[in-house]
Structure 1
Amino acid sequence: MADLFAWLISFFILIALIVLVIYQLMCLADLEFDYINPYDSASRINKVVLPEYITVGGLCLFYIVTGHWVMSLLCAPYLYYNVRLYRQRNHLVDVTEIFNQLPKEKKQRLFKLFYLVFILFLSLFWYGDRKKRTSIHIHQ
């Protein structure tokens, strides 16, 4: 039962992270198609950057606390990238350079999205594999 609870928490955290990254991509797409001005787009993206970083750190810590070392190791590169951006002060979108940085920012967030979807699928497999192994031990 505790394993199911841990899996549900990690599943919902991953879904929240995916929603945050998709929101950032939507803001960039709105800017690209000129539906929103650069200031509004940058401020909307910058509001969700730190919550995204904190959530990734919390997810990695959660995996460590629950003893899912492989999943925490898979989250570590994403966490390291976010920490590196934060320490270099490149984590926020600059209003004056947003049009010049648009392809790079979109590519960066698309990579994050694909990475999170990959982690989500591994999480689904992890729960299915655990459930299968548990049912095999019960029936023996």
Structure 2
Amino acid sequence: MGSLYTWLLNLFLLISVIGLIAFQLMCLTDLEFDYMNPYDSASRINMVILPEYFVQALLCLTFLITGHWFFFLLSLPYLYYNITLYLQRRHLVDVTEIYNQLNREKQRRLFKLGFLVILLVLCIFWFLWTIGEAFE
């Protein structure tokens, strides 16, 4: 039964990261269609970048602690990418360059979102597999 709770925790963390990425994409889309000014968009995106990195690191750590090695190894490159961006000080969106970097920032977040959706589908599959084994 404890395995089910760890899967639920992992799914909750994964859905949280997906929500933060989706919020950033919505801000970039609003900026692209001129519904929001660059300063507001950049400040809203920058406000959720560090929580996204923290929740993703926590997700990777829970995969490691709970012994889900496949998912840990699958999410490790994404964590490495986030740490690399943070250490190179390229993780924040610059207000003055946001229009020039708009397509690149959207593509970066769409790639992250696609990766996380694939990870979510795999986690749901393994979660259902665990439920099936627990109630046999």
Q: Which runs of structure 1 show a deviation greater than 4 angstroms over 4 or more consecutive aligned residues?
A: none
Q: More deviation in 126-135 or 70-79?
A: 126-135
Number of the residue aligned with 2:76: 76
Secondary structure of 2:100's counterpart equals: helix
Number of the residue aligned with 2:53: 53
Deviations 1:10-47 (A, max 9, x none): 11111111110000000000000001110100000000
1:9-20 correspondence to structure 2 within 5 Å: 9-20=9-20
| TM-score normalised by length of structure 2 | 0.96
Number of the residue aligned with 1:35: 35
Secondary structure of 1:98's counterpart equals: coil
RMSD: 1.0
- Aligned partners of 2:15, 2:127: CA distance in 1, in Å? 16
Deviations 1:28-84 (A, max 9, x none): 000000011101000000000000000110000011111111111111011011001
- Aligned partners of 1:47, 1:10: CA distance in 2, in Å? 23
| Structure ID, larger Rg | 1
Secondary structure of 2:101's counterpart equals: helix
Number of the residue aligned with 1:4: 4
Shift of 1:127: 1.3
State whether structure 2 residue 1 is matched by structure 1 residue 23: no
| TM-score normalised by length of structure 1 | 0.94
Equivalent AA in structure 2 for residue 72 of structure 1 = F
Shift of 1:134: 4.2
Identity of aligned residues (%): 57
